[in-house]
Amino acid sequence: METMPREQLRAVQDERLRDVVRRCYENVPFYRDKMQKLGITPKDIRGVCDIELLPFTDKQDLRDNYPFGMFAVPNSEIVRIHASSGTTGKPTVAGYTSGDIDRWAELMARALYCANVGKNDVVQVAYGYGLFTGGLGAHYGAERVGASTIPISGGNTVRQLMLMEDFGSTTLMCTPSYALNIAEAVEKEGIDLKRLKLKSGIFGAEPWTEEMRKHIEEKLGIDALNVYGLSEVMGPGVSMECMAKNGMHIWEDHFLPEVIGEDGKSLPYGQQGDLTFTTLTKHGMPLIRYRTHDLCTLTDEPCACGRTHVRMGRIMGRSDDMLIIRGVNVFPSQIEHALMQVEGVSPQYHIVVDRQGNLDTVEVQVEMKPEMMSDTVKDMEALSAKLHASIAAHALVNAKVKLCQPGTLPRTDGKAKRVTDKRKL
Ligand code: AMP
Ligand code: ZN
């Protein structure tokens, strides 16, 4: 499946798309109503060529049908329920049949295999276990490839390190920000990397940059690979980077991706827009043209690994994470990129946006590397000035830079909180 010629893959998608549209129409009142309003029936959808006839689905539709209104099977067929904790209001719910759980394990196994993880590996799953899909998603995939799987969950970093060493973990799975915390702890505890067997890391669930990848790879002596997913569409493992490290292959036999522009039209490969998925094989909660609001580009250029499935670039940000500062659109990832161009700071940062009078203000707090600490005030001023210039160049904002002592900004076990927007408080 992973190396199937693209025309053949398209035929698989055509058939599966017809099937999922029929299932949605027959079993989900929300979709039947939407399609009736558009004057279409499943018969009008011959295949992927007709995708633009179908309606979009948004997070709000999931909220309006909370909790189980989007399910396409009777509740007796649902064997697992996950939920993504929105910052406000009710969470978004996802329901899985046993077939869905099985396919999820399979796709996550594909993801692990991309990182050369197999039965001789020891996988430390430091994603949170619970309603969040990270922990269990990674777990079932690691078991499926036959690896010895450690369900340690996030947090308690010193204990993570002890077990990593004692159990000989070869692969770490967690958010990139937590991987960074682990890397810092390795340094702080004075652990010699030679005592660890770690060779790869599979990191996702939040945006990160190439610079952050290099930093983590160096500190932990591993290959760090990007994995993507979202609970509504499945959970982790919707797409995964191969060892070529040039974008994440989307498992297109299960998910039909589109990138949608501001006018609501599907964009050609190479153009950035809102990543949108139609699930082709999910039975519990199939989704048609679900707008993720994650901004990225797709490419179908051949990959060195031989897999034919399209690759998505790094997520530039979410359309709803975008900060508008004095009219300029800024993503936290641009600030991260700007910071990492300058020697002497670590990728631990926090962005505070506020308003004074009618003007937006931005403060970027960033931790210095420990070796900077002995330097003089003059050096600090020079460092601040360099960071200021880099942020102005890469993110086009005039930010106040606050240098912080190593280890002083708040840490998390899961997804990092990069922004405090006081304008919204
Ligand atoms: P959740 O619903 O908690 O599973 O969160 C899903 C969201 O996490 C996605 O819509 C993305 O915004 C983000 N996300 C997941 N994986 C990645 C990744 N590898 N890079 C950037 N953002 C990611
Ligand atoms: Zn590849």
**pLDDT of 319:** 79
**Does residue 333's CB lie within 6 angstroms of at least one atom of ligand 1?**
no
Ligand 2: centre distance to CA 313 (Å): 12
User: By the 8 A CB rule, do 204 and 78 touch?
Assistant: no
- State the pLDDT at residue 313: 98
Residues 287 and 361 in one domain: no
pLDDT, residue 320, reads 78
Question: Cα(246) to centroid of ligand 2, in Å?
Answer: 7
Q: Is 349 found in the same domain as 217?
A: no
84 lines ligand 1 (CB under 6 A): yes
Q: 294: Cβ below 6 Å to ligand 1?
A: yes
Supply φ then ψ for residue 86, to 5 degrees.
-65, 160
Instruction: For ligand 1, say whether the CB of 65 is within 6 Å of any of its atoms.
Output: no
Beta carbon of 206 within 6 Å of any ligand 1 atom = yes
Q: Supply the CATH number for residue 334's domain.
A: 3.30.300.30
Residue having the nearest C-alpha atom to atom 15 of ligand 1: 205
| CATH code for position 241 | 3.40.50.12780
Ligand 1 centroid distance, CA of 204 (Å): 7
- Are 120 and 214 in the same domain? yes
Q: Quote the ligand 2 centre to 273 CA distance (angstroms).
A: 22
Q: Which residues are within 5 Å of ligand 2 (an ion), measured at CB?
A: 242, 244, 303, 305, 307
Whole domain around residue 395: which residue ranges? 323-424
Task: Please give the tally of structural domains in the chain.
Answer: 2
What's the pLDDT tens digit per position in 9-38?
A: 999 999 999 999 999 999 999 999 999 999
Q: What is the DSSP letter of 408?
A: -
Low pLDDT (below 50) residues in the chain: none
Domain boundary residue, one of 301, 319, 337: 319
Same domain, 383 and 308: no
**pLDDT the model gives residue 87:** 56
Give per-residue pLDDT as tens, 139-196.
999 999 999 999 999 999 999 999 999 999 999 999 999 999 999 999 999 999 999 9
pLDDT value at residue 136: 98
Q: Are 283 and 327 found together in one domain? A: no
Pair 124, 212 in one domain: yes
Cβ–ligand 1 distance for 133 under 6 Å, the answer: yes
**Do 172 and 150 fall within a single domain?**
yes
The answer to whether 128 and 102 have CB atoms below 8 angstroms apart is no
State whether 345 and 304 are in the same domain.
no
3-state secondary structure of 293: strand
The structure tokens listed for 35 are 């399609």
Question: What is the distance in A from the centroid of ligand 2 to the CA of 299?
Answer: 11
d(CA 122, CA 143): 10
Distance between CA atoms of residues 373 and 119, nearest Å: 44
Q: Are residues 334 and 315 in the same domain?
A: no
Best mutation site among 92, 136, 206 for ligand 1, i.e. most ligand atoms within 8 A of its Cβ? 206
Q: Are 317 and 331 in contact (CB under 8 A)?
A: yes
Write down which residue in 319, 334, 357 finishes a domain.
319
Mutation choice for ligand 1 from 230, 233, 290, CB with most ligand atoms inside 8 A: 230
**Which pTM value belongs to this model?**
0.93
Q: Which residues on neighbouring strands pair with residue 409, listed in sequence order?
A: none
CA 188–ligand 2 middle distance (angstroms): 35
Same domain as 367, residue 262? no
Same domain, 244 and 140: yes
Mutate which of 208, 228, 297 for ligand 1 pocket (most atoms within 8 A of beta carbon): 228
Distance 134 CA to ligand 1 centre (A): 10
> 3-state SS string over 297-355?
CEECCCCCCCCCCCEECCCCEECCCCEEECCEEECHHHHHHHHCCCCCEEEEEEEEEEE
Does one domain contain both 419 and 307? Answer: no
Q: How far apart (Å, rounded) are the C-alpha atoms in residues 135 and 132?
A: 7
Q: Which atom of ligand 1 is nearest to the CA of 226?
A: 19
Taking CA atoms only, the protein residue closest to ligand 1 atom 8 is 205
Residue that is last in its domain, among 319, 343, 373: 319
